[in-house]
Amino acid sequence: MAEIKSTLDIIMEKAEKYKVTEEEKRVFKRRELEGWIKGLIQKHLDGILDSERLKEEVAAMEEKERQEAHEIMRSQVLERIRPGGENGPLLDILSMIGANTIPVRALLQEYEERIEEEKEGSRKRAFEALRGKGVSGSAVVPNLEAHKEWIEALAEAESAFREKLRSLP
């Protein structure tokens, strides 16, 4: 005669199929840590969490987890850096975790210099294009924000900046 299985036996058999591997546990833990770090960074940028409290939050972690948190923070901060934007608080976070901010600052400076050169060149070419259409005078000011060449130059400069930023050690 066939044995009748209890509901608990059936549930336990099905649950065997869904065991979480160590790798999956590690991935889940990393995602959780990333979310927590993103939240800390955002709170800091919003002025809710001052630098001292941010340091305390990270310092309270276990050593192994703290190292991983520093890596995540560095990665998240570098993603948020915007050339021409207010990057001071982000650079402060990098300093707080012991990262060298000099290369990042140099890249930001390089970007600003490149943009100024591009802006001047685009402005001159826009004036020439307008002059070629018979539009000239002291009141003529080209709208670079609508100028295709300027938009492309900005996109190229931003892309080059991002690429260099990603390649930093």
Question: What does pTM read for this prediction?
Answer: 0.75
**What letter represents residue 93's amino acid?**
I
pLDDT at 3: 67
DSSP code, position 77: H
> 14: which 2 tokens?
């099905």
- Comparing CA positions, the residue from 154, 159, 164, 163 lying closest to residue 114 is 154
Percent of the chain with pLDDT over 70: 98
pLDDT at 84: 87
> pLDDT tens, 108-126?
999 999 999 999 998 898 8
Average pLDDT for 52-59:
90
Return all residues near 68 (Cβ < 8 A) that are at least 6 apart: 30, 33
Please identify which residue in the block is written with the tokens 């709208």: 143
> pLDDT tens, 24-54?
889 999 999 999 999 999 999 999 999 899 9
> 26: which 2 tokens?
């590690």
* Run of H or E including 87: none
- The domains of the chain are located at 20-99, 101-169
